[in-house]
Amino acid sequence: MFDSFPQTNRRDAQLVEYFRQQRVPEEQIMFLKDTQATSRRVHNSFPEFLSKAGPDDLLFFYYTGHGYKSDDARTTYFATYDAGNNVDGWVTDSIVRDIEKNFGGSRAMLVADTCYSGDLATQTQRLGRRVSYASLTSSSASQESTQNWTFTEMLLAGFQGRSFADIDGDGEVTLSELAEDIKEDMAFAEGQRSVFVTTGNFPAGMLIGPAQQKINPQVSRRVEVRSEGDWYKARIFDVRGNRYHVHYYGWEDSDDEWVTATQIRSLKTAAYPVGATVEVNWEGKWYAAKILKVERGVHLIHYVSYDDGWDEWVSDKRIRPQRNWN
């Protein structure tokens, strides 16, 4: 039912390794991947894992894989290994219900890098009572997500205190700062609207950790870079003289390279005004739509003659001006 997950250079595994390097005890880490993450095992092991937490513990939950919706679009699932026609995946509201019922602590940070992941944030706002939440997702509840690691790469960079993750250059990375950086990355590179919400008394400005010194104001700038005859979206990680070390979105670290200023340009995106009537591409066909909202060049649109359940966030690549067919 779903494409196989990549087996090399997995950022989810790198995230787990980061926590191990921070000396989080093995008994406080549960990492289920591929064949381990069946629906039965997830539903049985997650509540048991939660019950082992103490009152001062913080839960960090991370999911990456495939997200999908029920036929009536009312329920969002995170795909398990055996999810398919006869087996349901992991319902997002059940994740929050399990935390509310079984988690021994009072604060939880939920992170998801998958299609429709914003529904997880919606469920924390709807169901969160005893536990305070911070939710950070790669897309909105109504939006698909690309298969690139852009979201998780930035998440890792923030945890690791990379210099380009320190937006204000104060030597620290906070949760809200990391969320803002991820929102900019996802809009710029993937045309997606990342979601960040907190509930209860979870501090949006929670300190993630110290950051490396930013030696040049150009570090962290998002640009397009000309390489081998084509233009690619990239981010500047380092500057030495008139040379720039860039990382290409959607590519491996081994593809990073040093370039000159003549190879760099600012990206120009089309932003349609709120209220404009346009056409939006959905699965190869163009439909009349209206722009309801614009954030960072990503547009919330409503399809004319369809109900609000079809509203979605789309990038400018899926939009064109309305055509006169007469």
Same fold, 222-265 and 277-321: yes
CATH of 222-265, one of 2.30.29.30, 1.10.10.60, 3.40.50.150, 2.30.30.140: 2.30.30.140
Domain boundaries, the chain: 11-210, 222-265, 277-321
Of 4-13, 59-68, 69-78, 154-163, which range is least confident?
Answer: 4-13
Task: Please state which CATH number belongs to domain 277-321.
Answer: 2.30.30.140
pTM of the model: 0.91
Higher pLDDT, 269 or 141: 141
- pLDDT value at residue 326: 44
What DSSP string describes 124-175? HHHH-SSSEEEEEESS-TT----SSSHHHHHHHHHHHT-GGG-TT-SSEEEH
Q: Could you give the CA distance from residue 235 to residue 164 in angstroms, rounded to a whole number? A: 9
Of the pLDDT bands very low, low, confident and very high (cuts 50, 70, 90), residue 325 is low
Q: How much is the average pLDDT of 204-226?
A: 94
Q: Counting beta carbons within 10 angstroms of the beta carbon of residue 45, is it exposed (0 to 12), middle (13 to 18) or buried (19 or more)?
A: middle
CA end-to-end span of the chain, whole Å?
42
- pLDDT value at residue 5: 64
Q: Which residues of 142-152 are buried (b: 16+ CB within 10 A; e: fewer)?
A: bbbbbebbbbb
Q: How much is the average pLDDT of 103-128?
A: 97
Q: Which residues of 48-59 are buried (b: 16+ CB within 10 A; e: fewer)?
A: ebbeebeeebeb
Q: How much is the average pLDDT of 64-72?
A: 92
Q: In CATH terms, is domain 11-210 a member of 3.40.50.1460?
A: yes
Strand partners, 238: 245
